[in-house]
Structure 1
Amino acid sequence: MSILLDHIRLAYGSRTLLTDACATLAPGTLTALIGRNGTGKSTLLRAVAGLAPAAGGRIELCGRPLDQLTPRQRAETVAFVTTDKVRIANLPCEDVVALGRAPYTNWIGRMQEADRAVVERALALVGMEAFARKTMDRMSDGECQRVMIARALAQDTPVMLLDEPTAFLDLPNRYELALLLRRLAHDEGKCILFSTHDLDVALTLCDTVALIDTPQLHALPAAEMAASGHIERLFTGGGIVFDAATQTVRLTKN
């Protein structure tokens, strides 16, 4: 498994977010992490990235305990795209993406031909090769997000984490970005976990849905999650309709 959560406990100050949370996420799969605001989605992603310790339990990445990985090993295993809007002025996109090669360049950070090829391929995978010499201050939010995903791809890790990558995008661009993540997971064999508030994207485009219902974590295949009742209890108290034939979600009022 690419990600193993073994009886994880998460806390924020004195507040318990998760207790005894277990999940396994396989290579080549796209998983949506959903839950109400403030329930610990970002905290869980940061714990899996090794940026903040869990209060208890064990996290493994690709069969190795996270707490035993050196900083370089962690950088070669997991890439993290935050929810922040990133617009780096006066730095071409290919140079932003090249930052993902930091774990592999020599001690002075010099790029080799192999590194440049990885950067070019990463830009091509997200459809941004034509923007290589453009700067992010002249690009849309969706284009900037694709560049940051390309940077994570250039990091060449088996695990990718994204914190609400569609937060600043309109509906068509949210679907387009989710489709991109699905293609990267399936075609590149990566384990991709991203947080989102888009239930329709989570249930129709993802392989697995992980739902935080404090203090529990439920991780199920998308179709099973839609039929489980967890989502309707958490979000609408019984107001979700999932049409398996059309793979669409409709929310209704009680």
Structure 2
Amino acid sequence: MSIELRHLGIGYGRRTLLDDVSTTFAQGSLTALLGRNGSGKSTLLRALAGLGPVASGEVLLCGRPLVQLSPLERASTVSFVTTDKVRIANLACEDVVALGRAPYTNWFGRMQRGDRETVARALELVGMSSFARKTMDAMSDGECQRILIARALAQDTPVILLDEPTAFLDLPNRYELCTLLQRLAREEGKCVLFSTHDLDIALSLCDSVALIDTPHLHHLPTREMVRSGHIERLFSGGGITFDPVSQTVRPAEKG
């Protein structure tokens, strides 16, 4: 297992988002994190990355308590792609990706041959080798998101967390990006966990689904999650209905 939650509790202020959550996310798996707006998806991801507080319990990354990892150890264990639009002008894409090598470079931050090879391979994996010398200010949102994922790959961590990676993409690019994440999990052996509102994509491409049902987290293999009724119950009151047979969502019928 790459991520283990033991009786985890998170929240902000006096509000509890998750309480007494215990589950594991395995190496080589792609997991979608679902939940209503404000349910704590981003807060959970930040806590798993060591960037947010944990109210109770603990997070283990690759068998080690997160709180015991030094900043350098954490940076070589987990990478995090945020939902923010990032466009770094005047910096070539390969240089943006090279930022992921920071935990491994020498005191002067100089790239060695192995670092450059890792950067080149990361760009190749996301299909962006031809963009190596281009700058992000002249690229589409989907292309920029691929570069940020390449930076996470160059960081060479067993765990990759992504917060709404498809938020600014059209439907074809959302499928293409999530297919890339699926391939990275299965072929590169990464533990990939990403938050999303794209229920159709999550159910068609992911190995498992983690569903925040405050203050609980239901985490099941995708087929079992569909049969469980959790998704239908959680989302049916929000103006949509979920068809467990076709595994699609549609606007709720008005009575």
TM-score by length of 2: 0.96
Residue matched to 1:152: 152
Residue matched to 2:43: 43
**Aligned with 1:47: secondary structure?**
helix
Residue matched to 1:118: 118
Q: Is the contact made by 1:211 and 1:218 (CA closer than 8 Å) also made in structure 2?
A: yes
Question: Which letter does structure 1 place at the counterpart of 2:139?
Answer: M
**Aligned with 2:52: secondary structure?**
coil
Q: Could you tell me how far apart the structure 1 residues matched to 2:118 and 2:40 are?
A: 34
Q: Give yes or no for the alignment of 1:241 onto 2:243.
A: yes
Instruction: Encode CA deviations 1:106-138: one digit per residue, 9 max, x unaligned.
Output: 001000000000000000000000000000000
Residue matched to 1:253: 252
CA shift, 1:252, in A, is 5.2
Aligned-pair identity (%): 71
CA shift, 1:250, in A, is 3.7
Q: Could you tell me how far apart the structure 2 residues matched to 1:253 and 1:11 are?
A: 31
After the TM superposition, which of the residue ranges 6-15 and 171-180 deviates more from structure 2? 6-15
Q: Is the contact made by 1:3 and 1:60 (CA closer than 8 Å) also made in structure 2?
A: yes
Unpaired runs of 5+ residues, structure 1, are none
Q: Is the contact made by 1:158 and 1:191 (CA closer than 8 Å) also made in structure 2?
A: yes
Question: Which letter does structure 1 place at the counterpart of 2:222?
Answer: A
- List structure 1 runs of 4+ shifted beyond 6 angstroms: none
Q: Give yes or no for the alignment of 1:209 onto 2:209.
A: yes
CA shift, 1:226, in A, is 1.0
Instruction: Encode CA deviations 1:193-251: one digit per residue, 9 max, x unaligned.
Output: 0000000011110001000011110000011111111111111149311336xxx4143
Q: Is the contact made by 2:199 and 2:249 (CA closer than 8 Å) also made in structure 1?
A: no
Residue matched to 1:33: 33
**Aligned with 1:33: secondary structure?**
strand
Residue matched to 1:97: 97
**Aligned with 2:31: secondary structure?**
strand
Residue matched to 1:57: 57
Q: Could you tell me how far apart the structure 1 residues matched to 2:165 and 2:251 are?
A: 26
Question: Which letter does structure 1 place at the counterpart of 2:87?
Answer: R
Unpaired runs of 5+ residues, structure 2, are none
Residue matched to 1:108: 108
Residue matched to 1:78: 78
Residue matched to 1:223: 223
Residue matched to 1:179: 179
**Aligned with 1:32: secondary structure?**
strand
Q: Could you tell me how far apart the structure 1 residues matched to 2:57 and 2:191 are?
A: 21
Q: Could you tell me how far apart the structure 2 residues matched to 1:252 and 1:125 are?
A: 37
Question: Which letter does structure 1 place at the counterpart of 2:126?
Answer: V
Q: Could you tell me how far apart the structure 2 residues matched to 1:185 and 1:113 are?
A: 26
**Aligned with 2:244: secondary structure?**
strand
Question: Which letter does structure 1 place at the counterpart of 2:241?
Answer: G
Aligned length: 251
After the TM superposition, which of the residue ranges 203-212 and 228-237 deviates more from structure 2? 228-237
